Structure 1
């Protein structure tokens, strides 16, 4: 028996998710109708309900897919060899700056774009955001601990507390960047980050 249909099914689902992430990352969740996503993806409406039971279910899957990709990118940055923990965190925050554009983030700023909006709209989507952001903070805490262990970082507080504070700092900076339409909030966040982490370089 051929396995092609399963592959085709996966491709269609992935195409719907990728298209939704790109469009909703730009316009928001409520402002985008399913027809817009499906037309852009070249998928009939009947196919959507084969994969997702509702728009909320689609939004939850969208966030789960986004966070899986985000965490994989974090892992890749934090596993770079030949770098100190401080250098890896520098690379992570530089990638944050690059991806959280105030012009067109191409869906890479989905958590920032949808966070406040969907947290009030959907319990399941809020739970996805909570799980995803908790995983980001945990991975950041591991990276901070690695920097402490190699002597390149000397924060005053425990790694998990520092990671939470830094995530909140950069999340807020991302929102301010979209409001003021320039990158000064990221420059401010970077200086505050250095004061918190005390890099040894």
Structure 2
């Protein structure tokens, strides 16, 4: 059950996410987040003892929501393992190539920025991305079991390689301001999974 305390805390996190996705963590001041959330500064420090702990909580909240989405998408019973997996990559391409900040990946946005600045935030990023890879590996294993994926592939290694490739392609997409890197990642993904386009 959500209490008023968790509601206000979550409201601050939900309000901050699109702002930080747009500008980055270091650039955004607490006053900007608090003004947007209509929360006084004293209340912020009631929920978060520092900006670093706020950043850690922001990442944990982001990954909790994202993992719930993955559980619904990759763990559902309809469709083969390969179909569910390719639905994920197609969704990634569309969301990360769009101009809408709401669907952007916070791990991509903050990974390079905060990993050297905050050990707590680095660990939150590491743990969150590791859980994503685990779910991808489970879906690959399901595809191998149901016959929709074939070949000699290690599910965990394949999931790690694909996720790393897509993270890199997303960074290149931000730099180039076009989707060519992610389109290349899609071609490489199909080849790695022995699937036709």
Q: Shorter-chain TM-score category?
A: over 0.9
Q: For residue 28 of structure 1, what is the aligned residue in structure 2?
A: 24
**2:162 is aligned with 1:181:** no
Aligned: 1:147 with 2:143: yes
Match of 1:199 in 2: 195
Q: Distance in 1 between matches of 2:98 and 2:27?
A: 18
Moved over 4 A (4+): none
| 2:33 is equivalent to residue 43 of structure 1 | no
Query: Is 2:151–2:194's contact at 8 Å kept on the other side of the alignment?
Result: yes
- Provide the C-alpha distance between the structure 2 equivalents of 1:107 and 1:118, rounded to a whole number of angstroms: 20
Q: How does 1:40-119 map to 2 (within 5 A)?
A: 40-101=36-97, 103-106=99-102, 108-119=104-115
Which residue of structure 2 lines up, in the alignment, with residue 131 of structure 1? 127
Where structure 2 has 5 or more consecutive residues not aligned to the other structure, the ranges are none
CA distance in 2, matches of 1:134, 1:10: 26
**In structure 2, distance between residues paired with 1:155 and 1:64:** 35
Q: From the superposition, tell whether residues 107 and 197 of structure 1 become closer, same or farther in structure 2 (CA, over 3 Å).
A: closer
SS where residue 67 of structure 1 aligns? Answer: helix
> In structure 1, what is the Cα distance between the partners aligned to 2:23 and 2:94?
19
Residues in 1 aligned to 2:43 and 2:27: alpha-carbon distance in whole angstroms: 21
Aligned length: 197
Q: Structure 1 residues 8 and 175 mapped into 2: Cα distance closer, same or farther (>3 Å)? A: same
**Cα distance in 2 between the residues matched to 1:16 and 1:136:** 25
After superposition, give the CA deviation of every residue in 1:68-97 in whole Å (9 maximum; x if it has no partner): 111111111013333011110111112212
1:157 is aligned to 153
- Unpaired segments ≥5 residues, structure 1: none
